[in-house]
Amino acid sequence: MAARRHGSNQSDTELDMTPMLDIVFIMLIFFIVTTSFVKESGITVNTPQAQTASKQENANVFVAINAEGDIWIDKRPVDIRSVRTVVARLHAENPEGSVVIQSDQEAATRTLVAVMDQIRLAGIDKIAIAANSVTP
């Protein structure tokens, strides 16, 4: 009596998903590591114009001061006494980046100087003040 093999003509083929999942996870890790996170101020201010204005590279923290003297960081209003800690926390995520102050042209200079002082007390030396470039 001959033994019958059931399904000998059919091959049990399965698609191994492990290499594809490995590639997806490696790409995910790559994109997370290479992404730079920018913390925007959250409001729009009317910045003054300057002929020497240039684009600031590596800016990751934006501090905005509106005409009334309100300070905004990361889409939230911030008191002058907490600017130092908030900027230090946000800057710790990307230490190579710089802080850009977007001050309204009608804002008081004392508010701008106080914000700059708090940022320097946080240990950050890379500070820029935003301005619109004048086109001739």
Domains of the chain: 49-133 (3.30.420.270)
pLDDT of residue 117: 93
pLDDT above 60 (res 58): yes
pLDDT of residue 5: 54
Tell whether the torsion through CA atoms of 103, 101, 39 and 133 is positive or negative: positive
pLDDT of residue 70: 92
What is the per-residue pLDDT across 80-125, written as a single tens digit (0 to 9) for each?
Answer: 999 999 999 888 887 888 888 988 888 888 999 999 999 999 998 8
pLDDT of residue 62: 87
- What predicted TM-score, i.e. pTM, was given to this entire model? 0.64
Residue 105 has, within 13 A of its CA and on its CB side, a CA count of 7
Torsion of CA 91, 132, 54, 74, to 10 degrees: 10
Q: How confident is residue 9, by pLDDT bands cut at 50, 70 and 90?
A: low
What is the per-residue pLDDT across 23-50, written as a single tens digit (0 to 9) for each?
Answer: 999 999 888 877 766 666 677 776 777 7
Is 57 in contact with 26 (CB distance < 8 Å)?
Answer: no
Q: What are phi and psi of 27, to 5 degrees?
A: -65, -40
What is the per-residue pLDDT across 62-84, written as a single tens digit (0 to 9) for each?
Answer: 899 998 989 998 889 999 999 99
